[in-house]
Amino acid sequence: MKKLLIASSLVAATALSGCSSMNTSSHALPLGGTVQTDISADIEVGEKITGQSSATKILFFTLGADTEFADGVTYSAGGASAPMIPFIGGPVESVKAAAAYNAIKSSGADVIVAPRYIVEKDDFFVFGTINVTVEGYKGTIKSID
Q: What is the pLDDT of residues 7-54, one digit of tens each?
A: 777 777 665 665 544 444 455 556 677 778 888 889 999 999 999 999
Enclosing H/E stretch for 101 = helix 91-107
| Number of domains the chain is built from | 1
pLDDT of residue 129 exceeding 50: yes
| Distance in angstroms (rounded) separating the CA atoms of residues 121 and 53 | 12
Number of Cβ atoms within 10 Å of the Cβ of 93: 23
Instruction: Specify the pLDDT at position 47.
Output: 95
| Distance in angstroms (rounded) separating the CA atoms of residues 123 and 130 | 8
Enclosing H/E stretch for 65 = none
Instruction: Specify the pLDDT at position 106.
Output: 92
Judged by DSSP in three states, 107 sits in helix
Phi-psi region of 34 (alpha: psi -120 to 50; beta: other; left: phi over 0): beta
User: Which residues have a Cβ under 8 Å from the Cβ of 120 and sit 6 or more positions away?
Assistant: 129, 130, 131, 132
Q: Does the predicted TM-score (pTM) go above 0.85?
A: no
Per residue in 62-75, pLDDT (tens digit) is 777 777 767 765 55
| Distance in angstroms (rounded) separating the CA atoms of residues 79 and 73 | 15
Q: Is residue 105 part of a domain?
A: yes
Q: Is residue 39 part of a domain?
A: no
Q: Is residue 79 part of a domain?
A: yes
What is the layout of strands, in order, in the sheet containing 41-58?
61-63, 41-58, 127-144, 111-123
Q: Is residue 30 part of a domain?
A: no
Q: Within the chain, what is the greatest distance between any pair of CA atoms?
A: 83
Instruction: Specify the pLDDT at position 58.
Output: 84
Q: Is residue 43 part of a domain?
A: no
Question: Residue 109 belongs to what domain range?
Answer: 52-144
Q: Is residue 102 part of a domain?
A: yes
Q: Is residue 33 part of a domain?
A: no
Q: Is residue 5 part of a domain?
A: no
| Distance in angstroms (rounded) separating the CA atoms of residues 60 and 104 | 29
Under DSSP, the state recorded for 2 is H
Residue type, 40: S
